[in-house]
Structures are given as structure tokens and as C-alpha cells.
């Protein structure tokens, strides 16, 4: 299945979660077994041969393909969650989203200086969530950080929030 076939599986929901937003709903792609397999394979292929030791997934849609990629890469999986969801000590980062302010957390013992980290989420829009995730991962002094998405909304220019030396990849671009 090619990229265009996968794009056709992604539903667009108008005015969600608020008026004026065109929400790219990936659940329609995930429910198709062939599409899910192809997404898993293509996303993993983007990350091969980078020495990734941990995949960090952002709650909640980063929890779908994040563990799959971690498994395929022989890496561990780490969750970034909303406040109060992680049971041990955490680092916390707040950020501005397209439609409000939010906060994410990571366990203080989730990563080490020896890790090569891939931060994964389903979609890059304005970049606030991923920038917060990037700042959290940087606190650990890891060897290298990579970032990837299934979908990128290029006209929202989310990439502009990151240093030029950070490798950011997206499978599908709108």
C-alpha cells in the first residue's frame, strides 16, 4: 500500500475539536489491518540503522505505533503522559496547543545519557506538544534525539520550533 492509499484511509473531521479545525482522524487508517501493517513497517523503516534504544510516545496517539516501532527496532518504550498518570517522580513541561494549554510528564528514571531516543507522535501541527516532549527528553542528556510523525500539517510550520540539527521525519504531509 502506497502513501496515497494510506492518505485515503485518513478521515477528515471538520470543526473538531473546535470550529475551524480540520481534524485528521487516523483511527480510520488504524482499523484497516493492511493499512496498520504498512504504517507500522513504513514508520519503522524511517528509523532503522539509527541506533535507537528508546522510543518515547506521547499520550495518547503516540501510544499506538510507538510501542510497535520500539518492538521492531529492539528498543524500549517510554510514555509521556498527562499529569497525575505516572506513579513515580516525574519531570513536567507545559506548552501551548492550537486550542489551549496542556502539560506532559515523564518519569525521572525513564532515560539515561546512554540512550538514543526517537520521540514519536501521530501528527505534527503547530509543534507545541512535541516541543515540550523534546525539552523533557533533553533534560536527560541523551546521546541523540530523533523525532517522527505519521502526519505533518506543513502549513502550520511546526518544524520551526526545533533546532535545525534535529532530524524530523513525517510519513505523510498535507
Give the CA-trace dihedral at 171, 104, 144, 71, to 10 degrees.
-60
Choice among 4, 11, 14, 61 that is catalytic? 61
Choice among 14, 89, 98, 135 that is catalytic? 98
Query: Helix (H, G, I), strand (E, B), or coil: what is residue 68?
Result: helix
| CA of residue 118 relative to chain centroid, distance | 9
CB 58: neighbour CB atoms within 10 A?
Answer: 23
Going by DSSP bridges, is the β-strand pair 90-97/100-107 parallel, antiparallel, or unpaired? Answer: antiparallel
Q: Is residue 61 among the annotated active site residues?
A: yes
Q: Which residue has the cell 483511527?
A: 27
Q: Which residues are catalytic?
A: 61, 98
Amino acid at each position: 500500500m502506497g502513501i496515497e492509499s494510506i492518505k485515503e484511509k485518513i478521515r477528515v473531521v471538520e470543526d473538531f475539536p473546535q470550529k475551524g479545525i480540520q481534524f485528521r482522524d487516523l483511527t480510520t487508517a488504524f482499523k484497516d489491518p493492511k493499512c496498520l501493517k504498512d504504517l507500522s513497517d513504513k514508520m519503522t523503516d524511517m528509523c532503522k540503522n539509527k541506533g535507537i534504544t528508546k522510543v518515547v510516545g506521547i499520550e495518547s496517539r503516540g501510544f499506538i505505533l510507538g510501542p510497535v516501532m520500539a518492538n521492531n527496532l529492539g528498543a524500549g518504550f517510554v510514555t509521556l503522559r498527562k499529569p497525575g498518570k505516572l506513579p513515580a517522580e516525574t519531570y513536567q513541561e507545559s506548552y501551548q496547543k492550537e486550542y489551549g494549554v496542556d502539560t506532559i510528564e515523564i518519569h525521572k528514571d525513564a532515560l539515561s545519557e546512554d540512550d538514543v531516543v526517537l520521540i514519536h507522535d501521530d501528527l505534527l501541527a503547530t509543534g507545541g506538544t512535541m516541543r515540550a516532549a523534546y525539552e523533557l527528553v533533553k533534560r536527560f542528556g541523551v546521546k541523540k534525539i530523533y523525532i517522527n510523525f505519521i502526519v505533518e500539517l506543513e502549513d502550520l510550520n511546526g518544524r520551526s520550533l526545533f533546532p535545525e540539527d534535529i532530524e524530523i521525519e513525517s510519513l505523510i504531509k498535507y
